[in-house]
Amino acid sequence: MQQWQRQKKSSPKGRLKVTFFGEAGVDTGALSKEFLTEMIAEIETRLFIAGVDKKGKNPVYCLNSLDRNYFRSAGEIMAVSLAQGGPPPFFLREWCFQYLCSGDYDSIQVTTSDVTDLEFSLLIEKVNSTDDMSELTDEILSCGYTGKLSADMKSNIIRAIVLHSSMRVVPMLNQLRKGLQLYDLQKVMEMHPDLCLPLFVPREKDDRVDAGFILENCHPVFSDKGSVKYTKEVNVMNFFQDFLQEVEDRGMYYHNSTTYLLE
């Protein structure tokens, strides 16, 4: 990141040309793509942190990186990568992307799943698992909560922790937005958020309708345990599961209620 800042003598909007020390050759595009690929990977690893659900990352709360304008440089590199054939930075949580588009925190919806900082994740677990908040008083108050510390206020306490966890990384996102202003990318994101979303937010898992999908969405209502009907119903579900697995193993899959045989 420091090298990027030092070498940026002219506008970063110019065509990126890369020379690796100890390697001969003229950059015709391949070296630039290699450089951008490595930079995007390093940005993801060093400046962002993932949650348990693996649905994207939040900025790391690091005032040193903020003070050194690393997040702004990261935004510039992301913009250059998208404009000049590098990889997209699709590792952000959706709420971070929405904030980058609008700059309006009030319109952003964050939940407990958006808390990626281990300290606050553990604090939420502690609050959920106890009715005695006395041992957690200092930690809760440090998150900006000023209400009553009692079991019946758990939802409010957890909400305060979630907001504190996300609000404290807003300065990092603001700096990132400044970097994304290259090529007017930030304006494009604001005007076309749906089109830009796949470039910044991880794609959902394969939504193909397979055996696992069907079984996960089956919610059978069985008869009373121990009854003859219950035994028959369980056997039917077991046979159904075996059938679906056999069909899948034979190279077939399901889509829109139609079965296709793969060649």
Give the pLDDT confidence of 95-137 residue by residue, as tens digits.
999 999 999 988 889 999 999 999 999 999 999 999 999 999 9
The backbone torsions φ and ψ at residue 6, rounded to the nearest 5 degrees and listed phi first, read: -70, -40
Same domain, 158 and 185: no
What residues contact 157, with CB distance under 8 A and at least 6 apart? 127, 133, 140, 145, 147, 149
Q: How far apart are CA 91 and CA 96, in angstroms?
A: 10
The mean pLDDT value for 70-76 works out to 95
Which CATH number does the domain housing residue 90 bear?
3.90.1750.10
Residues 48 and 177 in one domain: yes
Given this model, what pLDDT does residue 258 score?
Answer: 38
Cβ-Cβ contacts under 8 Å for 11 (sequence gap 6 or more): none
Output the six-digit token pair for 228.
């003859």
> Above 50 in pLDDT, residue 229?
yes
| Whether residues 158 and 177 fall in one domain | no
| Residue 159 shares a structural domain with residue 216 | no
Instruction: Please tell me the pTM assigned to this model.
Output: 0.70
Is the pLDDT at 243 greater than 50? The verdict is: yes
Range of 124's domain? 112-166
Domain presence at residue 186: yes
Q: Is the pLDDT of residue 262 over 50?
A: no
pLDDT at 27 over 80: no
Which pLDDT belongs to residue 255? 43
Tally the domains of the chain.
Answer: 3
- Which pLDDT score, from 0 to 100, does residue 33 have? 83
Split at pLDDT 50, 70, 90, the class of 84 is: confident
Residue 223: phi and psi, rounded to 5, are -75, 180
Is the same domain home to 25 and 97?
A: yes
